Amino acid sequence: MGIVVQKFGGSSVATTEKLKIVCNHITKEFEKGNSVAVIVSAQGKTTDKLITEEREITDSPSKREHDVLVSVGEQITISKLAIMLNDMGYKAISLTGWQIPIITDDHFGNAKIKSIRNETILDLFKEGYIVIIAGFQGINENNEITTLGRGGSDTTAVAIAASLNAEKCDIFTDVDGVFTTDPRIAEKVKKIDLISYDEMLELSSLGAKVLHNRCVEIGKKYNIPIVVKETGKENSTGTIVKNSKKLEDMEISGIAKDDNISRITVMGLENKIGKTYKVFNLLAKHKINVDTIVQSFGESINKNLSFTIKSSDLKETIKILEDNLEYLTAREIIHFDNLSKVSIVGIGMTHRTGIASKMFEALYEENINMHLISTSEIKITVLVNQDEADRAVKAIHKKFFNN
């Protein structure tokens, strides 16, 4: 048969009883004759607990030592799972990121995978082992432990699947796939059976929490189908993430929301070549991640440049820009806080008219003001007040899916 990669998140492996359910999913795939690699997260809130204990010592730990500490949780999970499978009569072995090894760059806390030496995994498959791998972690070329940041276990799983040329990568979580929007916000949400890499990438980047965008990028690059399934469901079909022409029949695929957004406007920026570059180059040097960008043009010798950032970066961003007003030849920096991005995503948007009108009508009917609008071929994003964001999602979802 083939190679199948399975990934189980923290809530799926939180207790001994849940580990037994995980074992059933693993052995079911193994009994089909497949070679199985399993990637796991730390159990439950283990990583959060470790970070809390770290903060009891200091608010500014060494980034290297921080990664050594928070990588421990996954090692606990892989050993427990291997012990349980061995006790059930299966050959299972656990591997940390450095034992494979998964080679990363030196960016502690948010490292990027450079390569995976998969010979160890393939050799263990030949010996009949189920291979249990610690997600979220790797090792740099100086043999120092690194971690991959938010969604790191998803990234590990799809990267392992790509390196092994696996048939698919099953991501087991606490929901039965990807839905048209967050079920905690809107009523009558619908499960999406099939979604493209591009659409899933947009939804993930725009606030959907089901999959991390880095893992979707890898899946798209290496054409690895990703299947999002519910751990607690015996025969979950979930949502398949891959390319499909059938998706063009859909108006939109889903709605995403991202809270804690701030809008920055650089006022009176000199309207000359290179001024926009200076702004974003300055922010890039300080590792400020910038999203939705809108620049106003006109006959004036000056222009205004607006963009969004996460609110956690607001204070630093304002200081950087205000300290460099003269260098940028700008008049002032203004900002708006407590905002949310609400976005609709769908490949079908490129073939249908009136999608934007329908979205804006839903917001108009709810008397919700838009602070900024940004569009691409497969998405429309609006910036709204954070306290109105859930209402915006409900209204848009009702307009597209419940009428």
Whether the per-residue pLDDT at 403 is higher than 70: the answer is no
Q: Can you tell me which residue has the tokens 């740099």?
A: 140
pLDDT in tens, 128-182: 999 999 999 999 999 999 999 878 999 999 999 999 999 999 999 888 889 999 8
pLDDT in tens, 223-270: 999 999 999 888 778 999 998 765 556 678 899 999 999 999 999 888
Query: Does residue 183 have a cis bond before it (omega within 30 degrees)?
Result: no
Q: Record the tokens describing residue 375, joined without a space.
A: 């569009």
Question: What's the pLDDT score for residue 175?
Answer: 84
Which ranges constitute the DSSP H helices of 196-308? 197-205, 213-222, 275-285
Rounded average pLDDT over 113-135: 96
> In 3-state terms, what secondary structure has residue 113?
strand
Domains and CATH numbers, the chain: 3-174 (3.40.1160.10), 256-402 (3.30.2130.10)
Between CA 204 and CA 150 the distance in angstroms is 12
Full strand arrangement of the beta sheet holding 35-40: 92-95, 130-134, 35-40, 3-8, 168-173, 226-230, 239-241, 194-195
Comparing CA positions, the residue from 262, 211, 271 lying closest to residue 371 is 262
Question: Alpha-carbon Rg of the chain, whole angstroms?
Answer: 23
pLDDT in tens, 279-321: 999 999 988 999 888 887 655 677 889 999 999 999 999 999 9
pLDDT in tens, 331-390: 899 999 999 999 999 887 777 788 999 999 999 999 999 999 988 888 999 999 999 999
pLDDT in tens, 84-95: 999 999 999 999
The answer to whether 356 and 252 have CB atoms below 8 angstroms apart is no
> In 3-state terms, what secondary structure has residue 124?
helix
Q: How many CB atoms lie within 10 A of CB 184?
A: 7
Q: Considering only 153-157, 201-205, 321-325, which range has the smallest mean pLDDT? A: 201-205
The answer to whether 302 and 314 have CB atoms below 8 angstroms apart is no
Rounded average pLDDT over 205-217: 84
